[in-house]
Amino acid sequence: MDRRQNFRASALGSGVPEDIVDWALELALPRIEMRPKGHSHGPVVGRYGGLPSLPAEVEWSGYPHFVASVDCAALPPGAPDFPLPKDGHLLFFGNMDTPSWGPESEDSQGLVIHVPAGTPTAERQPDERHAEFVSEPFPLHGHVDWNMPDPGDDIIESHPERARVWEEYEDGLWADNSDAGELTLGGHACAAFDDPCLPPYPGGDEEPWRLLTQARVSPRTREPIQNTIFWLMHPRDLAEGRFEKAKVRLELVPPA
């Protein structure tokens, strides 16, 4: 069963009326979850860690840190709910170490690069000061699943009726227990604290931004802290494939 079916079974079993369950499930979003071997039943669609392969004209010193790459042609159909390139690779870079939520810092926190198929590239080595953030690479297997917003998310709290229903049935409409994992394309943000898609939106926009990708990362200098990087895009830029417009935020989660 996917998470929508699990949600339905759990909610109905808790006594939530079926029409309320159907209404709540309208908020579910499809996403591509990319996990190590044994944690996903899907084919290999990318790679986590290692070194990036970049065109000669792209400058990179090791920062923002390289997180993962995705083979667009290998992605399973059915997710996410926005267009992605049909070929080439998407490379994701982000700050793994020092969180900053100020809008003025988002341009320096990371970036997304689309390398079209057939583009000559070469593997790059980071500067010595960033070498500690290079991790042993491993393949990512991808499959499609769905996730629900958290009860505290803006998509619920900004609508009085949604907030009222979630509060009324809080014992039955459980929070989604999925997380960002190694890499996830689309869906709702899985944040430990503030949802990165909450206002104020990047760049001072009034229109809500969308989550492109999220990834779990562990800074080499402060383990076992596990952070989450969020890559956000304006819906217009996302529809046009302008990945250079992505804004990046880092959430640091201290150890328990």
pTM: 0.90
Tell me which CATH code domain 3-251 carries.
2.30.320.10
**Count of C-beta atoms within a 10 Å radius of residue 19:** 8
Residue 134, judged by CB atoms within 10 A of its CB (0-12, 13-18, 19+), counts as: middle
**pLDDT-based confidence at 204, cuts 50/70/90?**
confident
Which pLDDT value is given to residue 165?
Answer: 85
Beta bridge partners of 53: 123
Tell me, letter by letter, the H, E, C secondary structure of 87-118.
CCEEEEEECCCCCCCCHHHHHHCEEEEEECCC
d(CA 107, CA 109): 6
Which residue in 107, 111, 117 sits closest to 92, CA to CA? 111
Greater confidence, 113 or 171? 113
User: Residues 44, 71, 244, CA angle at the centre, nearest 5°?
Assistant: 145
- Whether 224 has a pLDDT exceeding 60, the answer reads no
Specify the range with the lowest mean pLDDT, choosing from 69-78, 97-106, 199-208: 97-106
Residue 90: is its pLDDT beyond 90? yes
- How is the chain split into domains, by residue range? 3-251
